[in-house]
Chains A and B, each alone.
Chain A
Amino acid sequence: MSTLRYQVLNIYKELLYLGKQYPLGYNYFRTRCYKAFSKSAGLTKEEDIRNAIARAEFVKREIEALYYLKKYREMKKRYG
């Protein structure tokens, strides 16, 4: 159980780190990220928690892709 706890904390930290660059601002991201995590705070079954972590990983990948696309499009606009 304690390893799961660390996994959750780690992914939360990683997401917050990613959020610092969020286009709508860190505050916007942080409040929403916090809400999403606190919504699943009551989960007790191991499977549920694993699913929630998997979802967080998915969101992380999505945000990374968002940043990449944003940068790529801007560069393409400037340099073709």
Chain B
Amino acid sequence: MSTLRILVPVKRVIDYAVKPRVNKAQTAVEIAGVKHSMNPFDELSVEESVRLREKHTNKTVEDILALSIGPPKAADTLRTAMAMGCDRSIHVEVPEKDDMLEPLQVAKILKEVVEKEKSNLVILGKQSIDDDSSQTGQMLAGLLGWGQACGASEVLLEGDSLKVTREVDGGTEVVKGKLPMIVTTDLRLNEPRYASLPNIMKAKKKKLEKMKLEDFQVRAENRLKTLKVTEPPPRQGGGKVSDVDGLISKLKELGAL
């Protein structure tokens, strides 16, 4: 049985309960002074790696490393991850600006970290709730040449392979692959624990390593340019009709009859 060194990348996103607003210049979503938290899908991946450790022994899961690429405040997100049970974390600091790194750049950074830290399992959220790209995991698998199981709803460790139940359209699919592997999480994988106050305090003692974008061989420029960001048009309210004749005339008016 091989030992697992798990890498869990997490992203700091606008909190799910906050309604995002587009900025005045229509170039991006307003992020200043908005509540941020850990991406819900990343919470699932943190929880799953901690559960793998609890289910097996400490020897099986040697190390759980959380990683975040983001502005200085992303350190809070890493604290949350460590409060939930990660052992240590790396914070790749990038300046806070409107356009964030693209999935390919993130995947390239992750690849370098994986090679340096000798991780053999990467558990990512299937997508982040801010840009919804759902690409990073797949790109990382491609760059590393590893097997991937995306949208997992169950992860079982069997010797040195993983049996993953995936959520696909209209049902589930069971795939099995040898380590090293990439797993991305779907909503029904587990129930993430709450990062309680005492655990957050304890997490402050855990190691948080700071790195910079220059430490990696990636270019900071994005390949895509955001032209315009607009809010969806407001929903138009329905109307009431008094009787059947009214309904028919209304339908005729709309050309449905």
Contacts and interface: CB of A to CB of B under 8 A. Distances in A.
Q: What band does the interface of chain B fall in when counting residues whose beta carbon is under 8 Å from A?
A: 10 to 19
Interface string B33-52: 00000001000000000000
A75 B192 contact: no
Interface in A1-52: 10, 13-14, 17-18
B197 A17 contact: yes
A contact patch SS: helix
Contacts, number: 28
Given A71-B40, A75-B40, A14 B197 contact: yes
Interface residues of A, number: 16
Given A14-B196, A17-B197, A68-B192, A79 B16 contact: no
Nearest to B200: A17
Contacts of B192: 68
B245 interface: no
Interface of B: 16-17, 40, 127, 129, 187, 191-192, 194, 196-198
Give 10 closest A-B pairs by Cβ, nearest first. A17-B197, A64-B194, A14-B197, A75-B187, A75-B40, A74-B16, A71-B40, A68-B191, A71-B16, A14-B196
